[in-house]
């Protein structure tokens, strides 16, 4: 890569889009210009970019002319419609949506886990970034799988509303204010049940068999990331009334035994992980890790109920950072350095 790149961001006014623009600036990504592409709702609105005001333009098929690298942060239908056309015209596309995550011709990449897969990006011109849940699990499970093998993984995740986008944040605010004003929830609807002061064990649509689309997708994404197509895995995702971040409880059965103390050493040295497991029981929470680039891990302990003895651990992350915007910026940095 020599010169600065012409970059596009689709969905710049969304939660992930805004974080992405901030990170491109903070990390001094080599962008000569950044084209902001949105809907009729936001086209014409101004966004502050590196101290300048830039206008959002309407996303059209021609909007990618001359664009070398495009980030798609606008959902699966927008990606399905525009990403292949942009890629066919020579734009390298990095998509955050679920649209291409299981497409065998599109690499699904978390640099700490499978950076080698980036080499396949030219096949379709598109790279997919996993859900925040699969990203965090990939970063944490990757080093354990490499060391002792994984037999079975059981995950319960507690997800804030930001992982459902900007409108979901508004829904939690409204419901909370309504209830605190003794008005009752006037307009439920964004979530399957009331979310304020509640826990809802449904993220995504319920599928036959009882799992949700999100839970099933996470399993497949983690298997793809770790290149373990036969990994036994079960996920339960719970929506909780926090705005940002997510936390997970993970139970693991490994192929060969690994004591908690050894696992802690491994995780402390692994890239992208911050271990908060000092003696005395340190652990991270979503509030405390807001704004952090790392996947935070704590409460690493032996699980004697598994055979051979397994592990239980706790994870917290800022889903906007490594779970979304940071992962795609890291991918873009490697593309810009080695591939474009
Ligand atoms: N939130 C997370 O934690 C997270 C984590 C990993 C991946 N992701 C993925 O990242 C993507 C964005 O998520 P988000 O949380 O930022 O959602 P969001 O806050 O709802 O923002 C969605 C953005 O998409 C834009 N958009 C929708 N339809 C469009 C169209 N037809 N043309 C152009 N722009 C369009 C919207 O534009 P306007 O502003 O113009 O309406 C908005 O800016 C989704 O695919 C999501 O699955 C999110």
Q: Can you give the pLDDT at residue 339?
A: 85
Is the Cα dihedral 25, 31, 32, 34 positive or negative?
negative
**The predicted structure's pLDDT at residue 281:** 66
Please state, as a whole number, how many other Cβ atoms lie within 10 Å of the Cβ of residue 232.
13
Shortest-distance atom of ligand 1 to CA 18:
16
* Residue 79, token pair as written in the block: 């990606």
Which atom of ligand 1 has the smallest separation from the CA of 72?
Answer: 11
Instruction: Give the CATH fold of the 5-130+324-338 domain.
Output: Rossmann fold (3.40.50)
Strand, coil or helix: 300: strand
Q: Check if 5-130+324-338 and 133-319 are the same fold.
A: no
Query: What is the rounded CA–CA span in Å between residue 176 and residue 197?
Result: 8
Note the pLDDT of residue 309. Answer: 82
Question: Which of ligand 1's atoms lies nearest the C-alpha of 81?
Answer: 31
For ligand 1, residues with CB inside 6 Å are 10-11, 13-17, 38-39, 41-42, 59, 73-75, 78, 96-97, 131-132, 162-163, 165-167, 319-320, 323-324
The pick from 23, 41, 64, 73 for probing ligand 1's pocket by mutation, whose C-beta has the most ligand atoms within 8 angstroms, reads 73
CA–CA separation, 252 and 310 (whole Å): 5
* Ligand 1 atom 8, closest CA: 96
Q: Taking the domains of the chain in order of start, what are their residue ranges?
A: 5-130+324-338, 133-319
Q: SS3 sequence, 145-201?
A: HHHHCEEEEEEEEEECHHHHCHHHHHHHHHHHHHHHCCCCCCCCCCCCCCCCCCCEC
CA 97 / ligand 1 centre spacing (Å): 8
Q: How much is the pLDDT for 46?
A: 92
Between the CA of 277 and the centroid of ligand 1 the distance, in Å, is 35
SS3 254: strand
Distance from Cα 212 to the centre of ligand 1, integer Å: 20
Q: pLDDT (tens digit, 0 to 9) for every residue of the chain, 340 residues total?
A: 457 999 999 999 999 999 999 999 999 999 999 999 999 999 999 998 878 889 999 999 999 999 999 999 999 999 999 999 999 999 999 999 999 999 999 999 999 999 999 999 999 999 999 999 999 999 999 999 999 999 999 999 999 999 999 999 999 999 999 999 988 877 667 899 999 999 999 999 999 999 999 999 999 999 999 999 999 999 999 999 999 999 999 999 999 999 999 999 999 999 999 999 776 568 999 999 999 999 999 999 999 898 878 999 999 999 999 999 999 999 999 999 998 8
Rounded distance from Cα 237 to ligand 1 centre (Å): 20
Nearest residue (by CA) to ligand 1, atom 44, is 75
* CATH for the 133-319 domain, from 3.50.50.60, 3.40.50.261, 3.30.360.10, 3.30.1490.20: 3.30.360.10
Beta-ladder partners of 250: 155, 313
Tokens 């379709």 sit on residue: 124
Residue nearest ligand 1's atom 30 by CA: 39
Structure tokens that stand for 166 in this block: 């900007």
* Strand-pair partners of 157: 237, 248
Q: Ligand 1 center to residue 319 CA distance, Å?
A: 14
- Nearest CA owner, ligand 1 atom 2: 163
Closest CA to 290 of 270, 267, 320: 320
CA of 75 to the centre of ligand 1 (A): 5
* pLDDT at residue number 320: 96
CA nearest 17: which of 78, 81, 86?
A: 78
What value does the CA radius of gyration of the chain take, rounded to a whole number of Å? 20
């Amino acid at each position: 890569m020599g010169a600065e790149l012409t970059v596009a961001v689709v969905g710049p006014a969304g939660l992930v889009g805004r974080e992405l623009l901030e990170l491109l600036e903070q990390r001094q990504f080599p962008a000569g210009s950044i084209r902001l592409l949105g809907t009729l709702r936001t086209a014409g609105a101004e966004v502050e970019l590196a101290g300048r005001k830039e206008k959002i333009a309407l996303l059209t098929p021609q909007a990618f002319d001359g664009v070398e690298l495009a980030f798609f942060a606008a959902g699966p239908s927008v990606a399905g419609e525009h990403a292949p056309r942009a890629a066919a015209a020579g734009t390298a596309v990095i998509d955050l949506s679920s649209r291409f995550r299981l497409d065998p011709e599109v690499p699904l990449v978390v640099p700490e886990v499978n950076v080698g897969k980036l080499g396949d990006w030219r096949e379709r011109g598109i790279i997919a970034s996993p859900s925040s849940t699969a990203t965090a699990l990939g970063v944490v499970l990757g080093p354990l799988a490499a060391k002792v093998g994984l037999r079975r993984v059981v995950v319960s995740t507690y997800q804030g509303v930001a992982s459902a986008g900007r409108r979901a944040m508004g829904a939690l605010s409204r419901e909370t204010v309504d209830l605190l004003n003794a008005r009752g929830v006037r307009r439920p609807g964004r979530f399957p049940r009331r979310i304020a002061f509640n826990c809802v064990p449904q993220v995504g649509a319920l599928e036959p068999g009882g799992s949700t689309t999100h839970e099933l997708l996470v399993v497949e994404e983690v298997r793809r990331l770790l290149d373990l197509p036969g990994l036994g895995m079960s996920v339960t995702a719970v929506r909780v009334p926090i705005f940002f971040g997510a936390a997970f409880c993970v139970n693991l059965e490994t192929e060969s035994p690994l004591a908690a103390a050894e696992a802690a050493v491994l995780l402390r040295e692994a890239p992208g992980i911050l271990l908060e497991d000092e003696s005395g029981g340190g652990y991270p929470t979503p509030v405390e890790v807001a704004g952090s680039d790392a996947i935070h891990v704590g409460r690493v302990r032996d699980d004697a109920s598994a055979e051979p003895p397994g592990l239980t651990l706790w994870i917290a992350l800022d889903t906007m950072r490594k779970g979304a915007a940071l992962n795609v910026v890291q991918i873009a940095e490697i593309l810009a350095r080695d591939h474009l």
